[in-house]
Amino acid sequence: MIQNFSRYGFSVGQGTSLTTTYDAVFEIKDDSNIPSADKFPNNCNINAIEVSLTGMNAVTVPTIVTLFLTRDSTGDRPIVPGMSTGSSQTITGGQTANTGGVIFLVDADYHFDKRSGAGGSSTQGSIYAQIKLNAGTIANFDIRVSWRS
């Protein structure tokens, strides 16, 4: 049976102090500051991941963002793409100094799993991003995950 998508949207995560290690996990969920953002659905197809960067270090400039999504806040249950190695994209500079961004195109199905053990999710309505830079630091960033359900 072919499933048609009847809903589409995006979920947002915001963070500060991005560095060269996966030392923090950022929750992707709805954001009350963005009226059209929505909770991450229990069943969906992940389309794209957009990362907007501001406050890039002007001395040691980062050029690559590496990212992977997980079901859990500890980063142990990967969704896409691959655990620990992640997927990397070259940062495209913005029109304003010390800004930039990357887009990861994704075509992966996601299904919420309420088990707390291996393979399960820990928070309904959220997923988590592990993200790092190849050099330098970023003061602030937004992650927007687009999905269809």
Domain ranges of the chain: 9-148
Higher model confidence: residue 121 or residue 46? 46
What is the tens place of the pLDDT at every residue in 29-87?
A: 766 567 777 888 888 999 999 999 999 888 888 999 999 888 877 777 888 766 667 89
Classify 9-148 by CATH class.
mainly beta
Q: What is the CA radius of gyration of the chain?
A: 15
CA atoms within 13 A on the CB side of 23: 8
Answer yes or no: is pLDDT of 24 > 90.
no
- Cβ(145)–Cβ(126) under 8 Å? no
Structure-token pair, residue 15: 């963070």
- pLDDT band at residue 11 using 50, 70 and 90 as cut-offs: confident
